[in-house]
Amino acid sequence: MILQRIIEQKQKEISALKGRTFEKRAFPLRRLSSHLQGKHNIIAEIKKASPSAGILRHDLDIPSLVRAYEPYASAISVVTDGSFFAGNLGMIADVKKTTSLPVLRKDFILDEAQINESYAAGADAVLLIARLLSREQMKQLMQRTHERGMECIVEVHTPEDVERALTCGALMIGINNRDLDTFAVDLETTARLKKIIPADVIVVSESGFQTIDEIIAADTHAVLIGTHLLQSNDVASTLQAMRRTKVKICGITSRADALSAVAAGADFLGFNFYPKSPRFIAPEHAKEIIAALPNTVGCVGIFVHGSEESVLRIATISGIDMIQYYGALPNLTLPLPVIVSYGVDHALPNIDDAEAFGYLFDTHDPDLHGGTGRRFDHHLLHGFKKDFRKKLFVAGGLTAENGGDVICMLDPFCVDICSGVEKSPGIKDEAKMKACVAAAKKASDDCQKVKA
């Protein structure tokens, strides 16, 4: 059996690792769980080969793959096993040098020495396969992972695996639709096992996805896609077709509005910590609202020219998942995704080389920094986007009536809507939120069908 051969080989590798001193980690930690809040996020995988499919890409150009993944993936998985998947540990550094996205190391991890090795190599999270580990082993590996500041996804395939993962305290569970004994894939595995996983656990569905309809039907926080992307002749276009534009409702000031936005299907909620904004919210108030929300929505904090110290303090108090920043970006040490914001007048501003999760373009206003209700010429972004291999967030007077046109023109990662769903500044209109989110998702789906 192939799995037994893999384990035997892995034990030999572990013996060689024992007692080894690893080099100091060269890359900052990124929090994978913060990148997976919401639904239908994509973890795009990099691997050279697999036992079931053989060589996937003879020309495994990692920087090129990362650039193809960057505009729409929320994280990157790297398969490092050498004997059966033609990988190596150095692939993690190759990815980390090219992106700020978190990196998940996928391997057959059986020993704490592999956790130490993963940390030194630059991994932000590791995969632990439940069927290979006893409860005691799983607890020990999870503890060592967390001591290193990393996170782990516990992979399951049976109800027994799920039970063991949960009793060990798993916060992220990966449901492998592939049977490791037969290598057969059944997407219904996710539907069956998801029913017995608590709602506060992040669920990642792994293996077998080829269409956006399959991803939406799985209805998990994220899916992991590898073989389908790596066998494509046009990786960027294939990934682009497997997701829909996300919707951020910005300027949340009350729990009722936040819950209504979630019910409407918003992917992100924005909390404005800029004191001069008419939608300002105190960090302590934001914390109360965020604590009442499910993990099927990501919470974004908006900051304007704040110091690193103040941003980190407010982020910690409020419990936000992402940082949206106006101004020269400080060297933030918090491992959260960062969205850099730019105001647009009659031309696009100069874009700096800040390492960020996403880049937001909004109508320029020196006082408000968003929520103006005014549009800029979104056509300015059309030609720019072709060469801009980053996540594009688009704002600026968007409503249910005009947002679809922007989505079809730019196919951004996310549209950001504020005044277009309000009764007055900071007071949301439930009907407008429902209409806006529905219109955005319909436009994204319709435009993908046209491209196909």
Residues 6 or more apart whose CB falls under 8 angstroms from that of 407 comprise 245, 415, 440, 443, 444, 447
Cα–Cα distance list, 350 to 67, 95, 259, 384 (Å):
21, 26, 37, 12
Residue 321 is a catalytic residue: no
Residues 6 or more apart whose CB falls under 8 angstroms from that of 133 comprise 110, 141
Q: CA triplet 428, 430, 434: central angle to 5 degrees?
A: 120
Q: Give all strands (DSSP E) within 120-159, no chain letters.
A: 125-129, 151-156
**Alpha-carbon span 209 to 91, nearest angstrom:** 24
Residue 278, both tokens:
């008419």
**Helix, strand, coil proportions of the chain in percent (round to 5)?**
35, 20, 45
**Is 417 in contact with 248 (CB distance < 8 Å)?**
yes
Q: Residue 255 carries which side chain, given as an amino acid letter?
A: R
Residue 451, both tokens:
């491209």
3-state secondary structure of 277: coil
Q: Which residue has the tokens 């949960």?
A: 166
Q: Which of 81, 362, 411, 416 is catalytic?
A: 362
**Is 384 in contact with 377 (CB distance < 8 Å)?**
no
Phi, psi dihedral angles at 353 (to 5 degrees): -95, 25
Query: In DSSP terms, which residues pair with 178 in a beta bridge?
Result: 185
Residue 299 is a catalytic residue: no
Q: Residue 248 carries which side chain, given as an amino acid letter?
A: K
Cα 437 from chain centroid? 20
Q: Which of 250, 414, 436, 447 is catalytic?
A: 250
**Alpha-carbon span 327 to 343, nearest angstrom:** 10
3-state secondary structure of 273: coil
Residue 213, number of CB atoms within 10 A of its CB: 11
Catalytic residue numbers read 250, 362
